[in-house]
């Protein structure tokens, strides 16, 4: 769906279309044919085929999400577990942290990993499907699209999750009112709390910000990550933002889409440290640090 399509539907103004096109954002992937449940089954099928593990070895299935509607005439989790033979899996949803739900799922998975055996696995399924046009609205900053991703976690994973942290700090809303007019970065307290959170996830593993090869963020506003790079005193190229124009904003699918693309282009190298970052409305922040195994 193009920005012109959205303008014709009354979602974007002429000025917003102009601003989006200026940022090289001209379209978004939209799933018009498949239902949420069909997307769910397709991504699970592909994940199990790619991983080639017995379904009985899956112990937990986590579903972080922002947008979708359950089919009220069916039990999608029960249907999925029966279809794929997840006889021992416990399924549950993760939401209300908005675009930080995926990092929250990583945090939950890391905790649950203490309860699984060395040959067992945890799956994270993210499906974001907008049912209303206004859910795609990102102002002049981004367009929200449809996507589905699957993540398989276990002791034999290619990556080692070192530390994960999330924070919902609503004090930032009040603290922002104290910002001086001369400060060139708006919402400065959000960024200060974000930096504290990132450093918190690194400190436990005795890793410095300079040790991180690449920061992989969600595909929200480019300005957000440019500000963060400036405040962290990092070279701009250390924060990956190509995903904004390549995929658009797909809420909780962003981090997996970006990581998969970087892996396919061999940007993720063995022995290096990486960090996934999420910055959601309402001061909800997330940071996950991992090492390529």
Q: Could you please report the per-residue DSSP string of 166-228?
A: EEE-THHHHHGGG--TT-SSTTHHHHHHHHHHHHHHHHTTT--GGGEEEEEE-SS-HHHHHHH
User: Is the pLDDT reported for residue 176 higher than 50?
Assistant: no
> What are the tens digits of pLDDT across the range 235-285?
999 999 999 989 999 999 999 999 999 999 999 999 999 999 998 877 789
Distance, in Å, from the CA atom of 46 to the CA atom of 35, rounded to the nearest integer, reads 17
**pTM across the whole model:** 0.91
> 134 pLDDT band (50/70/90 cuts)?
confident
User: Is the pLDDT reported for residue 180 higher than 70?
Assistant: no
Cβ atoms of residues 142 and 221 within 8 Å: yes
Q: What are phi and psi of 95, to 5 degrees?
A: -155, -175
Cβ atoms of residues 28 and 91 within 8 Å: no
Q: Could you tell me which residues come within 8 angstroms of residue 94 by beta carbon, excluding any fewer than 6 positions away?
A: 62, 63, 64, 65, 101, 104, 105, 108
Q: What angle do CA 287, 241, 184 make, to 5 degrees?
A: 80
Q: Could you tell me which residues come within 8 angstroms of residue 55 by beta carbon, excluding any fewer than 6 positions away?
A: 48, 84, 85, 86, 87, 89
> What was the pLDDT predicted at 182?
53
* Closest by CA position to 194, among listed 222, 174, 165, 219: 165
> What are the tens digits of pLDDT across the range 92-132?
999 888 899 999 999 999 999 999 999 999 999 999 998 88
225 by Cβ neighbours in 10 Å (0-12 / 13-18 / 19+) ranks as: buried
> What are the tens digits of pLDDT across the range 20-58?
998 888 999 999 999 889 999 999 999 999 999 999 999
Distance, in Å, from the CA atom of 250 to the CA atom of 146, rounded to the nearest integer, reads 6
Count CB neighbours of 264 within 10 A: 9
- Kind plus residue range of the DSSP H or E element containing 154: strand 147-154
* Closest by CA position to 128, among listed 12, 31, 50: 31
Going by the DSSP 8-state scheme, the letter that residue 69 receives in this structure is -
* Closest by CA position to 238, among listed 210, 259, 219: 210
- Give the CA radius of gyration of the chain: 19
């Amino acid at each position: 769906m193009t920005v012109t399509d959205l303008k014709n539907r009354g979602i974007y103004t002429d000025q917003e279309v102009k601003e989006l096109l200026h940022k090289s954002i001209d379209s978004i992937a939209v799933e018009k044919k498949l239902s949420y449940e069909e997307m769910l089954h397709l991504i699970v099928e592909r994940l199990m085929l790619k991983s080639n593990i017995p379904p009985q070895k899956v112990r937990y299935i986590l579903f972080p999400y922002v947008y979708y509607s359950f089919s009220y005439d069916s039990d999608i989790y029960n249907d999925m577990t029966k279809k794929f033979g997840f006889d021992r899996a416990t399924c549950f949803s993760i939401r209300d942290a908005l675009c930080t739900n995926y990092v929250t799922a990583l945090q939950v998975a890391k905790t649950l990993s203490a309860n699984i055996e060395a040959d067992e696995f945890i799956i994270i399924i993210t499906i974001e499907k907008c049912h209303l046009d206004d859910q795609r609205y990102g102002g002049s900053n981004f367009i929200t699209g449809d996507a589905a991703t699957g993540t398989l976690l276990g002791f034999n994973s290619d990556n080692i999750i070192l530390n994960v942290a999330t924070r919902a700090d609503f004090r930032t809303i009040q603290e922002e009112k104290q910002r001086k007019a001369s400060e060139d970065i708006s919402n400065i307290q959000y960024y200060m709390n974000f930096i504290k959170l990132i450093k918190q996830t690194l400190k436990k593993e005795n890793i410095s910000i300079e040790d991180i090869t690449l920061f992989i963020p969600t595909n929200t506003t480019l300005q957000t990550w440019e500000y963060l790079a400036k405040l962290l005193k990092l070279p701009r190229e250390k924060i990956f933002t190509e995903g904004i124009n390549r995929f658009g904003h797909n809420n909780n699918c962003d981090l997996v889409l970006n990581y998969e693309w970087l892996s396919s282009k061999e940007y993720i190298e063995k022995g290096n440290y990486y960090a996934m970052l999420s910055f959601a409305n309402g001061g909800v922040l997330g940071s996950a640090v991992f090492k390529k195994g």
